[in-house]
Structure 1
Amino acid sequence: MNYNSFNTPVSLRQMKITDVFWKKEMELVRNEVIPYQWEALNDRVEGASPSFCMRNFKIAGKMNQEKAQKGDKYVEPQYSFRGFEALPEDPNHLEEKFYGFVFQDSDFSKWIEAVGYSLTQHPDPALEKIADEAIDIVCGAQQEDGYLDTYYIINGKDKIFSNLRDHHELYCFGHLTEGAVAYYEATGKDKLLEAAKRFANYIYNYFGEEEEKCKGYPGHEIAEMALVRLYEVTGNRKYLDLSSFFIEQRGTKPYYFDSENHPDQTRKEENHLKYSYHQAHLPVREQKEAVGHAVRAVYLYSGMADLARLNEDKSMYEACESLWEDMVEKKMYITGGIGSTHMGEAFSFAFDLPNDTAYAETCASIGLVFFARRMLEIKPKAKYADVMERALYNGVLSGMALDGKSFFYVNPLEVNPIACYKDERKHHVKPIRQKWFGCACCPPNLARLLSSIGSYAFTESEKTLFVHLYMGACLTKKIGNQDIEVTIQSKFPWEGHVAISVRAKDTDFELALRIPGWCNGYQISDLEQFEIRKEDGYLYLKKNWLEEEHIQISFQMEPVLVAARTEVRETVGKVALMRGPIVYCLEEVDNGKDLHLLSVEATKSITLIDKKIEHESVKAITAFGKRTLKTEENGLYQPFKEKQSKEVCLTYVPYYVWANRGENEMQVWTRVE
């Protein structure tokens, strides 16, 4: 493990994203998703599930004002096992109590994080004013001691941290902290950051190795990596120590969750597999297999990677590497989706990757991107960036409609709409995107990731700029007392052409370019003028830089039919189509019904075409194929005879744009001739 290679994300304030593809997505978030989210947080979206998020903060703030008169008496909350307060028959006459899931506070936190990132790229005084007013409401709910979770503030604080496994207080704290740091770094305003610090101090005084402190840890991870961000922005070591405590304590015996009074008492210490859902079945350094709830898992692994980097912890890095390899080589869909089963939104066993019942939650792919970048910060290996790129262009972008007004929670690789409605095993799969969700984690997660996309494209060490994703941008970097400038123009993902200009005269600046794993060849202009080294899939370029240098790169980007390992039973005899980082699929609207009757001919030519889908210009692909003909047959089964077929032209579209033209069948994997 080479600690000298550590690098950090380029600050969003040091860059301007100019990329045609990603800037469009960012503007969609800014103009559509962020305002829409704000309406949803305030329960003003007709036909969408109410959030109650801001309402809960307002009630908690009002209770703070009335606390001296009413006291702080605990009222037993009326929650189900999942902690959701059912609506009264008349939602227009709500009582002054907590409504929604126990993690409802986090909806605001993810929204304010997206706002912060967006403001770095597009200053917006009107949006900033709304955000400041929202922060006032949230901070008004904070208790004098620093505690800030509306579920327990409203219901009574005498049971705080009594159900760490299920009740998400530390999860809500984590998102609050992520949002506070993002908003502070964007605007310089620290009101929310100070609230997050006060809550963090409260938690630090409650949890820890000292005998009198609680030995628990989060049921749903994110506090671990959020505390690292708080440490990095404040320099206060105790936040890093608290993150380390939560991670090191996890999975140790006796299992902490056994000491809590849960509605279900079936989880006994001797059956440690029950704890795998929370990644609490083994100490983290002993975990070699990605298990349990997929989002929780990659959030934990991200925190582990942070600690491995900051503490120069080789064994922690090795644990992260083992978990990465298990996940990517045995449990990841071709789209970068993870978590194949809806039962627990979880990882299944190795190579169990069903297409039509896939869960592949949008948030899980987002968490995979978090993990990948943190592994890149430790060691820039192209394999991490390859997966990050795959997840971004496919498993993440598919979660949002092209107009930014509807969303997928689940991202299957095969859909028959009839099954979505009539097969209980597939009720989690939706054939069309939804306006909003009662458990609304995916839309705001999308917003915060896309608004900060530049921090995943570029990282830097003292003298090196790493280009992990080829994204149009203007960046500045300081080497010694001198500012250098790098401008990137990219035609990704539709073409493999990249132009880079560098202004780094009289510096020993080094440019590290990722060579994508999908690329069979590339050309770089005037390569002989550079000092060159290749390492872990990156090409490092150094020279005696002149006033302004220009580099032209062309990556081969050809359509490729891809097969899965034979252990993946659901795809034997089938292929998927990729071009560059984009996974393609067949839709009924282009190819007719009964997609399962289609096959693609592997030996015939594949053609690239331009196509418009809901005003989106994409590169589609046509290929020769066959359609098995239906025959009039007596009985459900009959003796085998070769089926008749006819030649057809298949039209493939990028997976991320599917379901933007109405409800229809879709499939990624197709039989091959």
Structure 2
Amino acid sequence: MGQTASTDKARPVSMKDVRIQDDFWNYYIDLVRDVVVPYQWEAINDRVEGAERSGAVSNFKIAAGLAEGEFYGFVFQDTDVAKWLEAVAYLLVSKRDAALEQVADEMIDIIGKAQQPNGYLNTYFTIKEPEGKWTNLTECHELYTAGHMIEAGVAYYKATGKRKLLDIVSRAADNIAEVFGDGPGQIAGYDGHQEIELALVKLYEATGERRYLELSRYFIDKRGQQPSFFVEEAERRGWTTHWRKNKIHIDHAYFQAHQPVREQEAAAGHAVRVVYMLAGMADVARETGDETLLEACRRLWDNIANKQMYVTGGIGSMAQGEAFSFDYDLPNDTIYSETCAAIGLIFFAHRMLQLEPNSRYADVMERALYNTVLGGMSRDGRHFFYVNPLEVTPGVCEGRNKNFNHVKPVRQEWFGCACCPPNIARLLASLGEYVYSVKGDTVYAHLYIGGEAELAVGGAKLRLKQEAGVPWEGKARFEVSLAQPSSFALALRVPDWAAGAEVLVNGAAYPIDGRVRDGYAVIDREWADGDVAELALEMPVMRVRSHPLVKGNASKVALQRGPLVYCVEEADNGPQLQQLMLPLDAKLEVGFDAELAGGLKLITAEALRLELPQWGSQLYRTDSGASLKPAVATFIPYYAWANRGKGEMAVWVKERV
């Protein structure tokens, strides 16, 4: 498999060693702690009036013999509990909370009672279809569901030192290892929805048990091999399907099983599954030194980032299958761009940064974080987007054209398939893990988020205090605390949105010409206690244009400042946003709105608006009588849209040359 030793790898700085103290991000982290996690606990306990029923907690109580009733929800409903527990674990790392920990411990007790003696853990098959275990991996998410609970078990153990959930998921993983493999009586297959792969690597790291790493590699290696496991499984089952009454139809590309993973050239199929798979592949490549897996990760990364990603960092352009479609097919109004897919892309980017620190991964990680992920949750922490459109007309997406019905003009309280809200919570609660990594004698700063980090680098232990102005100002300041002088490198990312960069060390200019490696300005020197490095990034308003093959954006432009993509909303610009035009030489000014979304910088532009005469009842005319009138267009950060009621929104506007 082209394996080599994997000793020269970066490692993320544990969130236990990072304390975020940032004007922008502390609001969201506190929101997760004070509002989102408590709200989601109420939601999965079916106590939010007006929200869709969850059934997630009650399913565990029924499976544990603590309550009577029928299973409710999707076959993967257990994952809502797992992701909630994972978010709780991350919150407990940064701040112990005895009451919250007790609630989590009580939930873990219920999970333990729901586990079967052989280690099997899944409430759907325990309650509703016990004879169906492991018979429909294609559709029923058994390994996916187990993977999320494994992630929760590892996170909770790391946060609290308590082994109960870790032991539960270890037994579940041991049961999976008995069931799956190439031996007599085993299932030589894999899940339709990837997740178990990355979870097993986390379990390996927490326990040191290499069999979990090998099991992860087994699932990756099996995917896409011939003959088709999904076809063989369907034949054994009589081609029945979980979701419909007719026979199952298997689209192998939807499951990324159309080719062995090392041979795949382009991202295809369900977007979340793609990036979860790639995160697992990157993990296994890192731990085993498998160069063929790493090369496949690079190839698929390039396809996603260069040909199939929205300017907001969203991925998955097609509602059918929540999937990638084809290169440069990026419609703005029928877009899918599931919040979970952007989060999965962040997971993948973060892992690639450990394999090869390169700013191209951090740039995408930052883009998805500040735009799609933040946009997926309202400022009140109780409303969420599953789909993240780049163009919205409420009357269209709420009308009778079902091609638009998946797009919502306002955030929803909860979803029957509620994968996105708890995914946002667990990502934001663990944000500290994404800021830094260390490789050899180099500290890499990937994100400019204020706070303090305890690091070990170049044989020295140090504290690094960061003060950051991003996303509003392109400034970051790093103060080093050391017991004694030490030589190491501090690598500061120069983002793709920066028009220029300057570095100061202890107030003196530090030339970075020739010192920018893979997108990082490297300050390699002997550091002493109290030394300060400052980074100044030019943050102009940028006009972003699409590749010519993105047909929907022809003759259109988007505005970006720093990591933030901007949009126009009806609340500022009136209806019929398609009639706005931005002249090529339009003056763009940055202002501040203290009221909207907690205070933000907006952009005003000298624009034009297409004025049309009274059209009458005719559908088509040969004389338009149209004229262009001066107008002022107001752009707000994309993440802040839909906080002022229902209205039109657009990221891309016509550009008048």
TM-fit CA distance, 1:463 = 2.6
Look up the match of 2:548: 566
User: Which of the residues 258, 262, 268 maps onto 1:285?
Assistant: 262
TM-fit CA distance, 1:15 = 1.2
Look up the match of 2:390: 413
TM-fit CA distance, 1:309 = 1.1
Look up the match of 1:649: 632
TM-fit CA distance, 1:615 = 5.1
Identify unmatched segments of 5+ residues in structure 1.
Answer: 64-93
Look up the match of 1:81: none
Q: Residue 347 in 1 paired to residue 350 in 2?
A: no
In the superposition, relative to structure 1, how do residues 605 and 509 fare at CA in structure 2: closer, same or farther (>3 Å)?
same
2:397 touches 2:409 (CA, 8 Å); kept in 1?
yes
Look up the match of 1:83: none
Q: Residue 135 in 1 paired to residue 138 in 2?
A: no
TM-fit CA distance, 1:512 = 1.3
Q: Residue 40 in 1 paired to residue 39 in 2?
A: no
Q: Residue 370 in 1 paired to residue 385 in 2?
A: no
TM-fit CA distance, 1:643 = 2.1
In the superposition, relative to structure 1, how do residues 122 and 531 fare at CA in structure 2: closer, same or farther (>3 Å)?
farther
Look up the match of 1:215: 188
Question: 1:210-254 CA distances to partner (integer Å, 9 max, x unpaired)?
Answer: 243211101111000000000011110000000000000000011
2:310 touches 2:330 (CA, 8 Å); kept in 1?
yes
Paired residues, number: 639
Q: Residue 669 in 1 paired to residue 649 in 2?
A: no
2:15 touches 2:432 (CA, 8 Å); kept in 1?
yes
1:530 touches 1:542 (CA, 8 Å); kept in 2?
no
TM-fit CA distance, 1:527 = 4.5
TM-fit CA distance, 1:667 = 0.3
1:606 touches 1:623 (CA, 8 Å); kept in 2?
yes
1:331 touches 1:353 (CA, 8 Å); kept in 2?
yes
User: Which of the residues 7, 12, 22 maps onto 1:9?
Assistant: 12
1:503 touches 1:546 (CA, 8 Å); kept in 2?
yes
TM-fit CA distance, 1:31 = 0.7
TM-fit CA distance, 1:577 = 0.4
Supply the distance in 2 between the matched residues of 1:194 and 1:296 (Cα, whole angstroms). Answer: 27
2:541 touches 2:561 (CA, 8 Å); kept in 1?
yes
Supply the distance in 2 between the matched residues of 1:381 and 1:111 (Cα, whole angstroms). Answer: 32
Look up the match of 2:125: 152
TM-fit CA distance, 1:612 = 3.2
TM-score, length of structure 2 as denominator length:
0.95
TM-fit CA distance, 1:421 = 1.2
Look up the match of 2:377: 400
1:613 touches 1:661 (CA, 8 Å); kept in 2?
no
Look up the match of 2:465: 487
Q: Residue 232 in 1 paired to residue 232 in 2?
A: no
1:532 touches 1:540 (CA, 8 Å); kept in 2?
no
In the superposition, relative to structure 1, how do residues 2 and 419 fare at CA in structure 2: closer, same or farther (>3 Å)?
farther
Paired residues for 1:574-653 under 5 Å: 574-614=556-596, 616-634=598-616, 635-639=618-622, 641=624, 643-653=626-636
Look up the match of 2:501: 522
User: Which of the residues 176, 179, 191 maps onto 2:152?
Assistant: 179
Supply the distance in 2 between the matched residues of 1:17 and 1:669 (Cα, whole angstroms). Answer: 34
Cα RMSD, aligned residues only: 1.8
In the superposition, relative to structure 1, how do residues 377 and 414 fare at CA in structure 2: closer, same or farther (>3 Å)?
same
2:486 touches 2:527 (CA, 8 Å); kept in 1?
yes
Supply the distance in 1 between the matched residues of 2:597 and 2:406 (Cα, whole angstroms). Answer: 29
1:529 touches 1:543 (CA, 8 Å); kept in 2?
no
Look up the match of 2:405: 427
Look up the match of 2:490: 511
Look up the match of 1:169: 142
In the superposition, relative to structure 1, how do residues 8 and 640 fare at CA in structure 2: closer, same or farther (>3 Å)?
farther
TM-fit CA distance, 1:636 = 1.4
In the superposition, relative to structure 1, how do residues 613 and 432 fare at CA in structure 2: closer, same or farther (>3 Å)?
farther
2:268 touches 2:323 (CA, 8 Å); kept in 1?
yes
Paired residues for 1:224-303 under 5 Å: 224-260=197-233, 261=237, 262-264=239-241, 274-303=251-280
- Worse-matched range after superposition: 595-604 or 28-37: 595-604
TM-fit CA distance, 1:419 = 0.6
Identify unmatched segments of 5+ residues in structure 2.
Answer: none
User: Which of the residues 168, 177, 181 maps onto 1:195?
Assistant: 168
Look up the match of 2:432: 454
User: Which of the residues 295, 299, 305 maps onto 1:328?
Assistant: 305
Look up the match of 1:535: 517
Supply the distance in 1 between the matched residues of 2:530 and 2:449 (Cα, whole angstroms). Answer: 20
3-state SS of paired residue (1:212): coil
Supply the distance in 1 between the matched residues of 2:512 and 2:493 (Cα, whole angstroms). Answer: 16
Supply the distance in 2 between the matched residues of 1:20 and 1:662 (Cα, whole angstroms). Answer: 26
Q: Residue 556 in 1 paired to residue 538 in 2?
A: yes
TM-fit CA distance, 1:455 = 0.9
Question: 1:62-107 CA distances to partner (integer Å, 9 max, x unpaired)?
Answer: 17xxxxxxxxxxxxxxxxxxxxxxxxxxxxxx96121110000000
Look up the match of 1:440: 418
TM-score, length of structure 1 as denominator length:
0.92
In the superposition, relative to structure 1, how do residues 642 and 502 fare at CA in structure 2: closer, same or farther (>3 Å)?
farther
Q: Which amino acid aligns with 1:444?
A: P
Question: 1:414-472 CA distances to partner (integer Å, 9 max, x unpaired)?
Answer: 00000111121101000000000000000000000001111112112243221111111
TM-fit CA distance, 1:597 = 0.7
TM-fit CA distance, 1:610 = 0.4
Supply the distance in 2 between the matched residues of 1:323 and 1:186 (Cα, whole angstroms). Answer: 33
TM-fit CA distance, 1:380 = 0.5
Question: 1:466-511 CA distances to partner (integer Å, 9 max, x unpaired)?
Answer: 1111111201112476421101000100000111001243323221
Supply the distance in 2 between the matched residues of 1:229 and 1:632 (Cα, whole angstroms). Answer: 64
Supply the distance in 2 between the matched residues of 1:621 and 1:464 (Cα, whole angstroms). Answer: 38
Q: Which amino acid aligns with 1:201?
A: D
Q: Which amino acid aligns with 1:256?
A: F
TM-fit CA distance, 1:640 = 5.2
TM-fit CA distance, 1:549 = 0.3
Look up the match of 2:52: 49
Q: Residue 112 in 1 paired to residue 94 in 2?
A: no
Paired residues for 1:43-82 under 5 Å: 43-62=46-65
1:247 touches 1:304 (CA, 8 Å); kept in 2?
yes
Supply the distance in 2 between the matched residues of 1:584 and 1:408 (Cα, whole angstroms). Answer: 18
TM-fit CA distance, 1:642 = 6.3
2:119 touches 2:175 (CA, 8 Å); kept in 1?
yes
1:531 touches 1:541 (CA, 8 Å); kept in 2?
no
| Identity value in percent | 46
TM-fit CA distance, 1:561 = 1.0
3-state SS of paired residue (1:540): strand
1:479 touches 1:507 (CA, 8 Å); kept in 2?
no
User: Which of the residues 660, 664, 671 maps onto 2:643?
Assistant: 660
User: Which of the residues 450, 475, 479 maps onto 1:472?
Assistant: 450
Supply the distance in 1 between the matched residues of 2:623 and 2:22 (Cα, whole angstroms). Answer: 54
Supply the distance in 2 between the matched residues of 1:156 and 1:579 (Cα, whole angstroms). Answer: 52
Supply the distance in 2 between the matched residues of 1:216 and 1:627 (Cα, whole angstroms). Answer: 58
Q: Which amino acid aligns with 1:624?
A: E
Look up the match of 1:24: 27
Supply the distance in 2 between the matched residues of 1:329 and 1:238 (Cα, whole angstroms). Answer: 36
TM-fit CA distance, 1:159 = 2.2
Supply the distance in 1 between the matched residues of 2:469 and 2:19 (Cα, whole angstroms). Answer: 17
Supply the distance in 1 between the matched residues of 2:509 and 2:192 (Cα, whole angstroms). Answer: 51
Q: Which amino acid aligns with 2:151?
A: E
Q: Which amino acid aligns with 1:519?
A: A
TM-fit CA distance, 1:42 = 0.5
Supply the distance in 1 between the matched residues of 2:597 and 2:194 (Cα, whole angstroms). Answer: 39
